[in-house]
Amino acid sequence: MTTQPLPASSWLNAPAHHAWLASEGQRLLSFAKASRLPDGFGNLDDKGQLPANAVAETMNTARMTHSFAMAHAMGLPGYAELVEHGVVALSGPLRDNAHGGWFAAPHAVDGNTGKAAYLHAFVALAASSAVVAGAPGAQALLNEAIQIIEQFFWSEEEGVMLESFAQDWSGLEAYRGANSNMHATEAFLALADVTADTRWLDRALRIVERVIHTHAASNRFMVIEHFDARWTPLFGYNEDNPADGFRPYGITPGHGFEWARLVLHLEAARLQAGLATPDWLVTDAKGLFASACDYAWAVDGAPGIVYTLDWNQRPVVRERLHWTHAEASAAAQALLKRTFDPHYETWYRRFWEFCDAHFIDRIHGSWHHELSPQNQPSSKIWGGKPDLYHAWQAVLLPALPLAPSMASALGRGCYVTRW
């Protein structure tokens, strides 16, 4: 890896830029505090209020617990109790006491008793971050999350996470998903740091080898999201439901950016651990970023990144989602740190200028989660403002190294630039 410094003119070296990021982070955190419910954390509306029928979903509870744990680890008062609340919720009403693992909602009140890899990856991430934050009960939660992943989800034969099961762990779904394995990669990086077990880095590499280096690399670095049980791409999957929030049809450029960043974190983590680290990791990260920028930025004539494309790179769902742009910014800063190429500085600034102009809501707080093709607030796919995780990580990452993982870096005081 190159060791030359970034130029003094880089925003990543600018104290004013880091002060702006810190201020934005405090705004995001303050808004998110209102999401607390008795059974975890719920989804806030556009004005930062909990609807009367709000439910503490496992996904949001895990993401909030992880986010609040990072706030506590970096020395911000007022978040330790929220981390503890998240651990209690994930250890209680959101957990399946009969068969183990986690439901999507408390006591499966939504009727969904299945067990999804996507959710379990976030539970593991939340638990690992809560351990870093020193929350009571976090280690027991982490131990159980690891046990469930190893017993049911991790496939040593395939080198990936299996997708989902029925409540009693029967009925393995005949589907393999890139999205769940992407978030498993994120969780495995954190598990490697918290447990000091490099097997998680080996598992993360196996996922990346299959999903990115095998499939995406042969598809012009456009991430293929959906596969059957033999890892044959399902190019027509959800064509009749293209705007699905988790399994949309076609190409999801935001995931190209997210994968690019995670691939660089994996490279850095393996180098830091003294493990064999293939040269193609940085090459693939560059390819993923370039593909997402080339095909998705302003593809319909307006600035911003569309939600999805078809296999001919034509826009399908033209809405702009906040998480996509948060991940684009995060990927640009990671590549800038890794390569020192000013090309990534240009994109980093472009993405933040767009977020500042269009996503940040200075009237009601937080970020608009979705914009129309005309870059006006909308709610076709995601209503309200339930998600702290993507934007909060985007403002944290520029101050952190590529390894260790985020909560561990904050807990150890491993900063590239201090605010």
Task: Name the residues annotated as catalytic.
Answer: 255, 390
2: which residues sit within 8 A by CB, 6+ positions away?
339, 340
- The span from the CA of 112 to the CA of 286, in Å, is 39
Q: Provide the token pair at 62.
A: 């895990």
Q: Which residues pair with 103 in a beta bridge?
A: none
Kindly provide the residue ranges of all beta strands, DSSP E only, lying in 176-239, ordered along the sequence. 176-177, 226-227
Q: What value, to the nearest 5°, has the Cα angle with vertex 378 and ends 377 and 380?
A: 160
Helices 280-296 and 342-354, interaxial angle, to 10°? 40
> How many other C-beta atoms are found inside a 10 Å radius of the C-beta of residue 282?
20
Q: Which residue has the tokens 């992880």?
A: 66
The answer to whether residues 359 and 368 touch, using CB atoms and an 8 Å cutoff, is yes
Kindly list the distances between the CA atom of residue 187 and the CA atoms of 34, 151, 161, 195, 407, in Å, as whole numbers in the listed order: 26, 16, 12, 12, 11
- The span from the CA of 385 to the CA of 126, in Å, is 20
- The span from the CA of 302 to the CA of 293, in Å, is 14
The answer to whether residues 147 and 191 touch, using CB atoms and an 8 Å cutoff, is no
Q: What value, to the nearest 5°, has the Cα angle with vertex 341 and ends 335 and 344?
A: 55
Query: Checking DSSP bridges between strand 40-41 and strand 36-37, what pairing results, if any?
Result: antiparallel
The answer to whether residues 194 and 142 touch, using CB atoms and an 8 Å cutoff, is yes
Q: Provide the token pair at 385.
A: 């403002």
Kindly provide the residue ranges of all beta strands, DSSP E only, lying in 71-205, ordered along the sequence. 115-116, 154-155, 160-161, 164-165, 176-177
Q: Which residue has the tokens 């447990």?
A: 195
Which among 124, 140, 204, 216 has a CA at the least distance from the CA of 116? 124
Q: What is the largest CA-CA distance in the chain?
A: 57
